[in-house]
Amino acid sequence: GLAASARVLIFSAVLVGATVLLLTVGPLSTDQAIRRIAPVPVVVALLVGLFMAVNLAPLSVRFRGRVTLILLEETPLLLGLVAVSPLVLVMTRVVADLAVFGVVRRQAIYKCGFNLASGAMRTAIAALIYRPILDSHGVVGPYGWAAGWAALVAATLFSNISIGAVRLLFRQRRDTKYAASSLIGSALFSVASIVLAFVVLDAAVLEVWAIAPLVLVAVLIVYAYRQYLLLDDRFGALQQLYDFSRSVGVISLESTGTGWAILEQVLAVMRTRRAELVMSDGPHVHRLSLHAQAGRSRTTEPLDQSTLVAHVMAMGEAELITGRTGPRGQEVVADSLFGEFENAVAVPVSSGGHIAGVLVALDRAAGFEALSEDDLRLFEALAAHAGSTLERARLVEELRLEAESKSHQATHDSLTDLPNRTLFLEYATASIAETGRAAIALLDLDRFKEVNDTLGHGTGDRLLCEVAERLVRVVGDRASVARLGGDEFALVIPGVIGPEEAIGILRDIEAAISRPVHLDGVTLAITASAGVSLGPEHGDNVATLLQRADIAMYHAKERRSGIELYSASHDGARQRKLLLGGQLAQALSSGDQLSLMYQPIAELATGRIVRVEALARWYHPDHGQVPPDEFIHIAEQMGLISRITEFVLREGCSQLSKLRRAGFDIDLSVNLSGQDLGDPTLVPKIANALSANELLARCLSLEVTETEVMEDIAQAKEVLAELGNLGLRIAVDDYGTGYSSLAYLQSLPLDELKLDRSFVSNIATNQGNWIIVRSSIAMAHSLGLLVVAEGAEDDLTCSMLAQAGCDEMQGYYLSRPLAPADLMRWLSSRPKLTFPEQPASHPLRVVAGRGHDLV
Ligand code: C2E
Ligand code: CA
Ligand code: CA
């Protein structure tokens, strides 16, 4: 600060005062030279020249890695002590110093003042010691040397002490280790410098012209030494480059680690204060910068086109930037990326065949020459190594990423990115091992296959992704979600306390999934069935828990209950299924346990019974009536459905022909399973059944559910077309429960549409279903289809169906399914064409009012 520089000025003034005192009234107040070597002006001119030269071209010596500046000022000082009076010598020195510090270096006043005062004082002290010791002895010889030695050492000591004093004034601390080593270094070089001074002086005393060759030799030696230092630098640099290229082989190839390692090497090899690695990345650059003092910093910034980096990147050529050498050494250059610097070398770093970045070294460390063309070439060599190192690091990074993604791929589902079965098993095993308690849940979307087949795989995939997302979001960190394949998802819920907790999570999932999904312009209502098993109650290993969750899930699907917790009774259900499956095959062979019931279907306009639907029944000797939904499902699973269909066709057609022979002009409806459509014997079976009973093909309707048609639309189209060509009627059963649109079904050779009972049975109370039923009827009619409503259970429903223009109805209101004998009686007891005239309580009262507003 100002105070310190003021103190330095005061200190300098004290030195000047002391010097003036010594020279005027003190022991140095003499105008006598010790020995006249040459005329005073010549000597003064020579001394001014020498003083200036040694100050302007100091020798920088490295001693134990430290740089020390050596001034060879002993030579002019000793010459002056002998050849001129102390006053003249001090004045000479002051003039030379003024020229160096004031004019050439333009130091600040206090610095320049101190340097001048210290130089003057130093000179005076040398004289003060030299003269008494020499006394009247000869300059050349032991006395002369001893006096010279003492004087020069004293001058050096004073110089060090005064500099130390100034440091104190500035409160600069000094690294003592550094101070010690540089003191030893400078002492050693002082000895050499003093010896040189003796040689010059002795020669001058003998013959003044001898100074000329000596100075020349000294200059040559200094020059040679500087060259040596340069060479030494280069050699050191080469050595380090070699070390660098070897060490980068073992540097951790983690990419930024490599960047820092390269920069460390740049500082060491290029001996600069700063090193920067700037890697381009589109419009931005990532910049690693290493500063010898300030350490590391890392930034990302937009690439400014005016910067050195942009220039080097664009030109692809190395650049050396040096400020013009002005009177105070290097002039400063500025760059918006690097700020101010004195000089710099910048080289492009290529990686993978293009310029990936720029390596920059800025500002030589103190004591080293400014960066030169030679350094640029060295730097280019270094950058080439750096480039290949970075390239290698990049490749290793790529390999690492690839390996990572491979292992990710191996453990994740590629569609939803959820963990796959492998990883799920790992998680599940770990959670069971960790907590001992874990729930495993399996979740399967209902009727996903239909979405896939009707709306396409693309939509199916998007639906799965949407479901996956919802699952992950809703479970959060309560559970891990995985996709096991298809539309099957699994959860492991670690550390569950009890079933409620697991069921709670599944209820949340159920709610999340059931929100409508908007995909490709279609809105889907998704439901899922889930089964849960709990460890350790239901099993102590993943395999058992998974199997039991699967059983529970099947149970949920069958019961359409959404979520089921595993219970041992499910195993019972499973066993029953297996058992029934085996027994169904036997029942089919013997034929005495299976029978058919017939449910009448009436024309709404006339009330006439136009057909009956054959419904299969299985009376099991132990289990009693097995519900058709259950045994039909079992038959489908066990591949027995074609035999059931064959039985129904045979039995149904024979019953129909009996009814027809009895005078009832009615037709028959038979249910087909989806599997029947793939059965090559289906058409011959039907033909056999018809011909065996002398029936025409148009008496027989075949009902296929919309879902089953969709399972293999191409095959369905083909088989249904063939059947249609035979004259059979084709009906779509359970219409409205699937995803197909009428427009889609239009491409099939259909005759009838059976509206599912789940819509029909509540049209009186459910406005939405009423709208669906009405619009379905209208649309089916526009496609030329006959519409049958199933599940009409009361007269209001019937009248509404009639109002909507529905053609036929089937339902408990008309009749439950009937055994053949009951059917015969039921048909006989009904006055066939009279019911439009029936009283108001009659189920078909409303048909009379078709077209009128009776409802
Ligand atoms: P489906 O083809 O939709 O048959 C109509 C079902 O609705 C019959 O049940 C019938 O009893 C019932 N139903 C009729 N009117 C009403 C009503 O007003 N209210 C109510 N709630 N239900 C009514 P069922 O006989 O239990 O048959 C169930 C399902 O089993 C059938 O549904 C059909 O999909 C299948 N099925 C029955 N027999 C056969 C068969 O021979 N072959 C094939 N492949 N499937 C069959
Ligand atoms: Ca049916
Ligand atoms: Ca149906």
- What pLDDT digit, counting tens, does each position of 530-575 carry? 999 998 888 888 888 998 999 899 889 888 889 999 988 777 777 7
The pair phi, psi for residue 732, each rounded to 5°, is -90, 120
Amino acid symbol at 799:
S
pTM for the full predicted model: 0.47
- Whether the per-residue pLDDT at 87 is higher than 90: the answer is yes
DSSP for 139-179? Answer: SSSHHHHHHHHHHHHHHHHHHHHHHHHHHHHTT----HHHH
HSE on the CB side for 289, CA within 13 Å?
18
User: Which residues, including other chains, have CB under 8 Å from residue 202's CB and lie 6 or more apart?
Assistant: 139, 140
At residue 846, the pLDDT reads: 37
At residue 234, the pLDDT reads: 67
Which pLDDT band holds residue 852 (cuts at 50, 70, 90)? very low
At residue 580, the pLDDT reads: 86
Most confident residue range from 1-5, 147-151, 156-160: 147-151
Of the chain, the end-to-end C-alpha distance in Å amounts to 106
The mean of the pLDDT values for the chain is 85
- Whether the per-residue pLDDT at 855 is higher than 50: the answer is no
CA of 613 to the centre of ligand 2 (A): 7
Which pLDDT band holds residue 677 (cuts at 50, 70, 90)? very high
Q: What is the mean pLDDT of residues 607-634?
A: 92
At residue 707, the pLDDT reads: 79
At residue 267, the pLDDT reads: 86
User: What string of H, E and C letters represents the secondary structure of 345-404?
Assistant: EEEEEEECCEEEEEEEEEEECCCCCCCCHHHHHHHHHHHHHHHHHHHHHHHHHHHHHHHH
460-499: pLDDT as tens digits: 999 999 999 999 999 999 999 999 988 999 999 998 888 8
Ligand 1 atom nearest to 790, measured from its CA:
15
CA of 789 to the centre of ligand 1 (A): 13
Pocket test for ligand 1, best of 601, 641, 671, 760 (most atoms within 8 A of CB): 671
Quote the CA–CA distance of 99 and 111 in Å, as a whole number: 14
Nearest CA residue ID for atom 15, ligand 1: 811
DSSP for 304-347? Answer: PTTSHHHHHHHH-S-EEEE--EETTEEPPEEETTTEEESEEEEE
- Whether the per-residue pLDDT at 324 is higher than 70: the answer is no
At residue 187, the pLDDT reads: 74
At residue 370, the pLDDT reads: 81
Ligand in nearest proximity to the CA of 736: 3
Q: Name the more confident of 580 and 181.
A: 580
570-600: pLDDT as tens digits: 777 777 887 888 889 889 888 789 999 999 9
**In percent, how much of the chain has pLDDT > 70?**
89
CA of 769 to the centre of ligand 3 (A): 16
Quote the CA–CA distance of 436 and 604 in Å, as a whole number: 64
743-771: pLDDT as tens digits: 677 788 999 999 999 889 999 998 888 98
Cβ < 6 A, ligand 1 pocket:
599, 615-616, 628-629, 632, 644, 648, 671-673, 703, 733-734, 757, 790-793, 810-812, 817
- Whether the per-residue pLDDT at 243 is higher than 90: the answer is no
Buried b (16+ CB within 10 A) or exposed e, 197-227: bbebbbbbbeebeebeebbeebeeebeeeee
Helix (H, G, I), strand (E, B) or coil at 68: strand
Which pLDDT band holds residue 183 (cuts at 50, 70, 90)? low
- Whether the per-residue pLDDT at 367 is higher than 90: the answer is no
259-313: pLDDT as tens digits: 888 888 888 888 889 999 888 877 888 888 888 888 888 888 888 888 888 888 8
At residue 268, the pLDDT reads: 82
Which pLDDT band holds residue 700 (cuts at 50, 70, 90)? very high
Nearest CA residue ID for atom 32, ligand 1: 629
- Whether the per-residue pLDDT at 253 is higher than 60: the answer is no
The answer to which of 9-18, 68-77, 437-446, 482-491 has the lowest mean pLDDT is 68-77
Q: What is the mean pLDDT of residues 708-735?
A: 90
The pair phi, psi for residue 614, each rounded to 5°, is -80, 125
At residue 841, the pLDDT reads: 37
User: Which residues, including other chains, have CB under 8 Å from residue 850's CB and lie 6 or more apart?
Assistant: 604, 605, 802, 803
